[in-house]
Structure 1
Amino acid sequence: MTEQRVALVTGAGQGIGRAIALQLAGDGLDIAVADLGFQQEKAESVVAEIEQLGRRAVFVEADVSNRDQVFAAVDRAASELGSFDVLVNNAGIAQVRPLLEVTQEEMEKIFSINVNGVLWGIQAAAAKFEELGKKGKIISAASIASIQGFPILGAYSSSKFAVRGLTQVAAQELAPKGITVNAYAPGIVGTAMWDHIDEELHKINGKPLGQNLQENIDTISLGRVETPEDVAGVVSFFASPNSDYVTGQVLLVDGGMLYN
């Protein structure tokens, strides 16, 4: 009998995280839906959606910038769902600001979530895999901005470049334990994060709301905005046995914007 697999997805209460959680549940995994406390209602609705798919799920409160909370979330996922096999470091924030205007507080905030949160996740997952004798999978959110820096998104771009570096180093250090470490790099996804980016760019350059977003969509070879489900399909691959010989990679899933 095949042992039941369990995944923890951070930032899973909405957007890309929700789509990933539902995709992995559809793939047959039980899911720990991790998010901030004020997102609990949304996260609990994702738990309900997963349960409707016939899988077990639990909400786990976690601020990924807090190392202790990340380790506690992994512990809860393993204890309440009976295993631990996949971590998806999905939680992240964007920041739209000319580089010369970025404050120390803003830089520390975006790195505490986008970079530190990924590192704490890698550490917590690796420790749990070793404890359980697992050859697990760690999957993190990068971005097209991890391959190419974008103006007015300097702090965000640098944080995602850091995720790319962490992914490459962790893959090398954890390979002897049989743990794979990869990342997905979305482009222009139709979520609240891009609504925020569009609004902030509007304040900076004065273009009508929606125009900055549309101009970015116009650069996509496949001609449409990306959906959270597009991203979830790539994560599904990384979480599956099909990717057992893939590690240290950042896979662009952008509809044809960058060619790396």
Structure 2
Amino acid sequence: MGATQQPPTTINRVALVTGAAQGIGRATALRLAADGLDVAVADLPVKADALTKVAEEIRGLGCKALALIADVSKEDQVKAMVEATVSGLGRLDVMVANAGVAKAAAIGVMDAEMEDWEETWDVNIRGTILCYKYAARQMVKQNIRGRIIGASSICGLRGYAGMGGYCISKAAVRSLTQSMALELRQHGITVNAYAPGVIETNMTAMDVDKQHGPGFGVKSLLKVTEFRTGKPEDVANIVSFLASSDAHFVTGQTISVDDGVHFA
């Protein structure tokens, strides 16, 4: 009798999600795990305990998980984060550059505190560039049709008074996504972004800013109280699609998830 044929080994796709300890990042990591991907989750040291819990939740869904500590504004840490993902989970198929901050929100240009604005840009712009850069390098090396996904915002689709610093950072993500999509088309790698409206997370929970007090936070400045607020899972649903094989013909897009606040 001939040797018994073994069934082909199934290789799980692997995603890396930054800013994954809470909010949209956590919801995205869990949704991708529910879709069957192994997931590396990354966040800052102060979020380590919450990050560990997210990794445990992913394992509870039957997928492998890896919790990584990284500051996305630091190039050496982003490089190490991608390398650790590949070392621990075997590959990288999906990068979700979700990490972001809003220190520049609720501050007008005349009152701009440049340190706050630059800190926002370091994470939202520089951090996204670095995640795109090292994810792309790894995907090209693997010769796969990877998925790179970034976090823009409705603030990246139009300007809002009093939010110039934050709007700049999210518009940069949209522009970067378009440029990167064209650069990576030849490799079959898609690059897209999501643009949430007001999502119920820690960032928007307090409608307050440090200069003006209550009633001058993100919700008030966006003047979208007549629209519904969304859940982190609403954004995760879009990421799930963009990460899938069904989205192979979608690239360079920034997709609004905002209950109709902004029309393209």
Same-fold call, TM cutoff 0.5: yes
Shift in alpha-carbon separation, 1:40–1:147, aligned structure 2, 3 A: same
Q: Quick one: which amino acid aligns to residue 49 of structure 1?
A: E
Shift in alpha-carbon separation, 1:165–1:85, aligned structure 2, 3 A: same
Q: Secondary structure at the match of 1:93?
A: coil
Q: CA deviation at 1:210?
A: 10
Q: CA deviation at 1:131?
A: 1.9
Question: Aligned pair 1:16/2:56, yes or no?
Answer: no
Q: Aligned residue for 2:243?
A: 239
2:45, 2:142 → 1: CA distance?
28
1:111, 1:215 → 2: CA distance?
24
Report if the CA contact (8 A) 1:146-1:158 is conserved: yes
Q: Aligned residue for 1:70?
A: 78
Q: Aligned residue for 1:36?
A: 44
Q: Quick one: which amino acid aligns to residue 42 of structure 2?
A: A
Report if the CA contact (8 A) 2:93-2:147 is conserved: yes
Consecutive unaligned residues in structure 1, runs of 5 or more? none
Q: Secondary structure at the match of 2:250?
A: coil
Report if the CA contact (8 A) 1:36-1:62 is conserved: yes
Q: Secondary structure at the match of 1:34?
A: strand
Q: Aligned residue for 1:119?
A: 129
Q: Quick one: which amino acid aligns to residue 199 of structure 1?
A: V
Q: Aligned residue for 2:159?
A: 149
TM-score, normalised by the number of residues in structure 1: 0.93
Q: Deviations over 1:168-219 (max 9, x none)?
A: 00000111111110000000101110124x1118x5275499983895231x
Q: Secondary structure at the match of 1:183?
A: strand
Q: Aligned residue for 1:199?
A: 208
TM-score, normalised by the number of residues in structure 2: 0.91
2:159, 2:58 → 1: CA distance?
36
Q: Aligned residue for 1:230?
A: 234
Report if the CA contact (8 A) 1:143-1:160 is conserved: yes
Which has a greater percent of helix? 1
2:50, 2:80 → 1: CA distance?
21
1:199, 1:73 → 2: CA distance?
34
226-235 or 95-104, larger mean C-alpha shift:
95-104
Shift in alpha-carbon separation, 1:66–1:208, aligned structure 2, 3 A: closer
2:41, 2:219 → 1: CA distance?
34
